[in-house]
Amino acid sequence: MIIAAIEAGGTKFVCGLLKADCTDYSAPTILARTSIPTTTPAETLAAVAAFFAAESRERGGVDIAGVGCFGPVDLHPASPGWGRITSTPKPGWSGADVAGTLRDALGVPLAFDTDVNAAAYGEFLWGAARGLKNFIYLTVGTGIGGGVFSGGDLVHGLSHPELGHVKLARLPEDAYEGGCPYHKDCLEGLASGPAIEKRWGRPGMELPPGHPAWELEARYLARAVAAYALVLSPERVLLGGGVGMRPGLAERVSVLAGEELAGYLPPLTDPERLSGYVRRPALGADAGLIGAAALALRLCDE
């Protein structure tokens, strides 16, 4: 099975031709890849199509495609807007028909979901959430977002989860007002990479271990994890992204989430169960591409 996998991001579209098997579900092999800057929808999507046209000629065609896309996107199968970006501050992309354009260009069945749902599904098939029926994939970087897996499948409800925009109780020692343009001091406004930089005057990568920024960051993330645990009862939380993957952060967030819950959620009152509750994802730098390929394999069941 040859898969066209696309990680459609706000700054670049990472495209890959991958080989995987519908039946044994072993991790896919990347045969070819490229990265295309996100400029206008017409230009970017045409470049994506051209890459796959050239690559698939060389390798005897593509069978299925998967796209993990930046959002917000319309995921309602019955909606006339399915596969489009809904509204985004990114010039030209509001209403862009990402899924339809790529499906027509590639001429194969195409699975479409959010970038974070793609990453979550990749971790479910081949990563740090193998075999779990309920988990969350949270990414903390320039923004904060998450994919939610519940009852053995990705959550698609009214729209898609927006885990980064939950408004939490503030930590009293934190004077930073928050930087989310919609909600000011929601989780993303308080704990994303840009929030860290604005609060401390330096980007997170320049703040050493032991700097108070990291304990504050861990406490906000723990507060969010506690809320997710109470609402969704996930068996595990994967913490990805440039900020989220910082060594030691997941471990500290686990401990502090236990403190936030204050003995309330029985399995997590056991320190052994709590340890490892929040952990890093396993798929590393290729998580986006591999996640998009994972989405495509969902078409095998149809």
Q: Which residue has the tokens 């029985």?
A: 266
Q: 289: alpha, beta or left, given left = phi > 0 and alpha = psi -120 to 50? A: alpha
- Which of 71, 288 has the CB closer to a copy of itself? 71
Report the distance separating Cα 49 and Cα 54, nearest Å. 9
Minimum CB separation of residue 226 from a copy of itself in Å reads: 7
For a copy of itself, the binding residues (CB under 8 A) are 72, 74, 86-87, 133-134, 148, 150-153, 155-163, 165-170, 182-183, 185, 223, 226-235, 260, 262-268
- 255 contacts 274 by C-beta, under 8 angstroms: yes
| Dmax (CA) of the chain | 61
> Minimum CB separation from a copy of itself for residue 201, in Å?
25
Distances (CA, A) of 164 to 131, 134, 137, 138, 273: 25, 18, 11, 8, 25
**Residue 12 phi, psi dihedral angles, 5° rounding:** -150, 155
Q: Which is nearer to a copy of itself, 185 or 286 (CB)?
A: 185
- Residue closer to a copy of itself by CB (options 83, 204) is 83
Rounded Cα distance between 47 and 54, Å, is 11
Q: Which is nearer to a copy of itself, 28 or 161 (CB)?
A: 161
Contact indicator for 118, 7 with CB cutoff of 8 Å? yes
Least distance from C-beta 219 to a copy of itself, angstroms? 12
**Identity of the residue numbered 198:** K
Q: Which is nearer to a copy of itself, 47 or 81 (CB)?
A: 81
CB of 182 to a copy of itself, least distance (A): 5
Using alpha carbons, select from 235, 75, 67 the residue that is nearest to residue 155. Answer: 75
What phi and psi, each to the nearest 5 degrees, are found at residue 237?
A: -125, 120
CB 113 within 8 A of CB 281: no
Q: How far is the CB of 285 from a copy of itself (least distance, A)?
A: 28
Q: State the Cα angle at 137 between 52 and 295, rounded to 5°.
A: 30
What's the rounded Cα separation, in Å, for the pair 68 and 7? 5
To a copy of itself, the closest distance from the beta carbon of 44 in angstroms equals: 23
The CB-of-263 to a copy of itself minimum distance in angstroms stands at 6
34 vs 86 by CB, closer to a copy of itself: 86
Name which of 46 and 265 has its Cβ closer to a copy of itself.
Answer: 265
